[in-house]
Structure 1
Amino acid sequence: MKAYMPTAQRRPAFVQLAHTRSGQLDCSLPSAHQLQSLRMHGLWRAAPVSVAPLSASRSRASATVRAASALDMTEERPRVTVFGTGLMGSKAAQRLAAEGFQVTAWNRNTAKAEALVELGLDFKAAQHEAVEECDVAVLFLADADAIESILFSNSKALEALRGKTVLQMGTIGPDQSRKIGEQLAENGVKYIEAPVQGSHPEAYAGTLVIMVGADEDPQALPAWNVIKALGKDPIFVGAVGQAAAIKLALNQLVAALTVAFSTSLGLVERNGAPVDKFMELLRGSKVYAPTFDKKLPLMLDRSYGKANFPTKHLLKDIKLFNEEARSSMLNTDFLEGLESLINTTVNAGLENSDYSSVYEGVSPPVNTLVHPPSSEDAFVVIDPVGPRTATPVGKKH
């Protein structure tokens, strides 16, 4: 199948995405709660700004959805089934319903899908019945294995997909995406990859950053209106596999930036240097990124809260990136260290915490002197998760 390529782009798609919106890079102002924490630590002296935090009330979020309609009344709204109704899938389903789409939900965990019925969405327990109800199957599934299981393990469901479109919106590898696309094409099913930057608040508001890969012009397919409803100004980057590659490239930057900042912050703290002066100098430099201020209070408090993007998902994406880098004959020395550090964080029980918890992998419990050096130096272990208290555990040998 001949790949359809955009006729004109003013700059590379990767650059366009980097300049569009931040997504998981969190390149926006800190939330009200984070600003309060920064001020408590004396690390934020900017003038107050009026920014509605992502944790706004449900009623305000609903108003945002209605006000930000991406489609006019004349545009086609194909029937949609959302497969995978976790945090992202459920919010995407609600967004599509608010945009006037007929939405059916399916999930292995029926309780998650049934919860959407109370909001007016349809639910089908059988995969083939869920497929029969749609023109576009939207996938928000954990990984390529889950996708292949849903699409190819049920012959009735695969047959029901013939002539329809699969819109894959999760993070998988480029080769994995191409393989899925080829298998679907053999069965008469169109395939579009559309991985996203952003989390469930952006899915609910329809402001996801969406990069699109397809082997024909996706804008000519009904699925394009589904994409437009979930993200403002989606970017078509090229053939299947190319959007998946850019998505992994962006998530590698998320990991690298966060670990780099954690390492610098750790050195500053371990040497007793004032963090406020470090941040003042950093904010005025060319290497500053707003994500540093968003993650700083979490790291200082060593409290990582409820995650929009947990550490376990970051680890999965870095492993995928590492595999693709090796197959592309890139030097992976740096990536292997990055993967090892994130894996250490996950193994410390922080797999469901915000990905800024990599600070615990960078600055773990260490033996620290509690008084000036002498033959009787006592050592302590600092608990990086609990309060910052020193507890003697032994003597220097």
Structure 2
Amino acid sequence: MPTASDRRIALLGTGIMGSHMARRLAQAGFPVTVWNRSADKAGQLTRFGVKIAVSPSSACADADVVIVMLSNGPVVEEVLFSPDHAGKRPAETMAAGSVLVVMSSIPVETCQSQAPRLAARGIDYIDAPVSGGEPGARDGTLAIMAGGDVRVVNGIADVFAAMGRVTHIGPVGTGQMTKLANQIIVGATMVAVAEALHFAARGGADPAAVRKALMGGFADSRILNIHGERMVERNFVPGGPAEYQLKDLRTAKALAADSGMHFTLLDCLVGMFGDMIDRFGTGLDVAGILQEVERRSSGVQAGTVSAKVPS
């Protein structure tokens, strides 16, 4: 494996998260090549020295580390293992001794299916989903949950350090399991903040002042800080799309059921985020759960409670 100074990185998927991650890797001094299905979304990265590949297979061919930041399990499977427009399967263009790092949130069983196929070609596989949303990707403060061989994780510690803080969890799949646990906590806290702010607003309190008062106390959290502000401002332009949150919650529910577990709160969260998207559509931030809280609250229709922004 090359030294940190010349370790070549390929990153597949330059959406809300991936673009920031690619930029930070380039700024850390890594040679970075990216591919994105919509090439125009990757173009802005060239000013940071990032190269744009015409196909995922060409991006992977010369890489020592391939990072995947695509939307879901089926897309990851398709992009890695199906022929691209160049007629090549990207996973088959990766060199023996390279590392595939799947930082997308995908099902545990998908990781456990993909890892042996890569191992047969001499390629190490790490599942390393992240938490921290767009701010974490932008600032390089992501919480990275890594499953796979600890020696491989430690061997690319410099790569992870450019994006955030990595914790090795266990074998392949445990990174995804940890991300699902994270999403249960995130979903529950998101709903709790939405209900608390709506509750206070209906009682005549200024929700902006309520949020400010709660920060620093036992009710404080990054969600109250970041997404609570979004709720106060009714800014639901996605930093973290709600449909991704629902995807992960549904994955967690299915995995729990397969293991003979049933959770009341998880079932409730799946229902609330599912209803939110059914009624208000995709393309909203997770903070948009406030609208579903408003709708469910005593017959109050979404949008009828105005949130004041402090001057």
User: Does structure 1 residue 146 correspond to structure 2 residue 75?
Assistant: yes
* TM-score, normalised via structure 2 length: 0.84
Q: 2:280 aligns with which of 349, 354, 367?
A: 349
Matching of residues 119-138 of structure 1 within 5 Å? 119-138=48-67
Deviation, 1:338, is 1.2
Q: 1:180 aligns with which of 114, 120, 130?
A: 114
CA 1:137/1:261 → structure 2, altered by over 3 Å: closer, same or farther? same
Deviation, 1:116, is 2.3
Q: Which runs of 5+ in 1 are unaligned?
A: 1-73, 369-381, 389-397
User: Does structure 1 residue 312 correspond to structure 2 residue 243?
Assistant: yes
Deviation, 1:151, is 1.2
C-alpha contact (below 8 Å) 1:178/1:240 kept by paired residues? yes
CA 1:263/1:82 → structure 2, altered by over 3 Å: closer, same or farther? same
Q: 1:107 aligns with which of 32, 36, 43?
A: 36
Deviation, 1:82, is 0.7
- In structure 1, the residue matched to 2:265 is 334
Matching of residues 245-394 of structure 1 within 5 Å? 245-270=177-202, 272=203, 274=205, 286-289=218-221, 291-301=223-233, 303-364=234-295, 383-385=301-303
CA 1:220/1:77 → structure 2, altered by over 3 Å: closer, same or farther? farther
CA 1:268/1:158 → structure 2, altered by over 3 Å: closer, same or farther? closer
- Which digits, 9 at most, give the CA deviation of each residue in 1:283-319, with x for residues without a partner? 6874554533544444345x12432112111111111
Where 2:273 maps in the other structure, the secondary structure is: helix
Deviation, 1:181, is 1.2
User: Does structure 1 residue 171 correspond to structure 2 residue 105?
Assistant: yes
C-alpha contact (below 8 Å) 1:128/1:157 kept by paired residues? yes
- Which digits, 9 at most, give the CA deviation of each residue in 1:18-51, with x for residues without a partner? xxxxxxxxxxxxxxxxxxxxxxxxxxxxxxxxxx
Letter aligned with residue 229 of structure 1: A
CA 1:332/1:269 → structure 2, altered by over 3 Å: closer, same or farther? same
C-alpha contact (below 8 Å) 2:11/2:22 kept by paired residues? yes
Identity of aligned residues (%): 27
- Which digits, 9 at most, give the CA deviation of each residue in 1:224-266, with x for residues without a partner? 321122114x211111111111111011101011212333444
- In structure 2, the residue matched to 1:200 is 134
Q: Which runs of 5+ in 2 are unaligned?
A: 307-311
CA 1:267/1:120 → structure 2, altered by over 3 Å: closer, same or farther? closer
- In structure 2, the residue matched to 1:229 is 162
Counterparts of 2:48 and 2:242 in 1: how far apart (Å)? 30
Counterparts of 1:258 and 1:314 in 2: how far apart (Å)? 11
CA 1:204/1:347 → structure 2, altered by over 3 Å: closer, same or farther? same
User: Does structure 1 residue 241 correspond to structure 2 residue 241?
Assistant: no
**Larger Rg, first or second structure (1 or 2):** 1
Where 1:309 maps in the other structure, the secondary structure is: coil
User: Does structure 1 residue 210 correspond to structure 2 residue 144?
Assistant: yes
Deviation, 1:387, is 7.0
Q: Which stretch of structure 1 is more off in the superposition, 315-324 or 148-157?
A: 148-157
CA 1:189/1:268 → structure 2, altered by over 3 Å: closer, same or farther? same
Deviation, 1:143, is 0.8
CA 1:80/1:259 → structure 2, altered by over 3 Å: closer, same or farther? same
Query: Number of residue pairs matched?
Result: 298
Where 1:81 maps in the other structure, the secondary structure is: strand
- Which digits, 9 at most, give the CA deviation of each residue in 1:170-213, with x for residues without a partner? 11222222122122223332101111111333323322211211
Matching of residues 11-90 of structure 1 within 5 Å? 75-90=4-19
Counterparts of 1:173 and 1:85 in 2: how far apart (Å)? 21
Counterparts of 2:159 and 2:124 in 1: how far apart (Å)? 15
- Which digits, 9 at most, give the CA deviation of each residue in 1:71-108, with x for residues without a partner? xxx74441011100112111111111111111111111
Letter aligned with residue 303 of structure 2: V
Where 2:276 maps in the other structure, the secondary structure is: helix
Counterparts of 1:137 and 1:151 in 2: how far apart (Å)? 10
Where 1:172 maps in the other structure, the secondary structure is: coil
Q: Which stretch of structure 1 is more off in the superposition, 289-298 or 205-214?
A: 289-298
Counterparts of 2:210 and 2:20 in 1: how far apart (Å)? 38
Letter aligned with residue 192 of structure 2: A
Counterparts of 1:104 and 1:79 in 2: how far apart (Å)? 8
Where 1:177 maps in the other structure, the secondary structure is: helix
Deviation, 1:280, is 8.9
Counterparts of 1:236 and 1:287 in 2: how far apart (Å)? 29
Where 2:168 maps in the other structure, the secondary structure is: strand
Deviation, 1:279, is 6.5
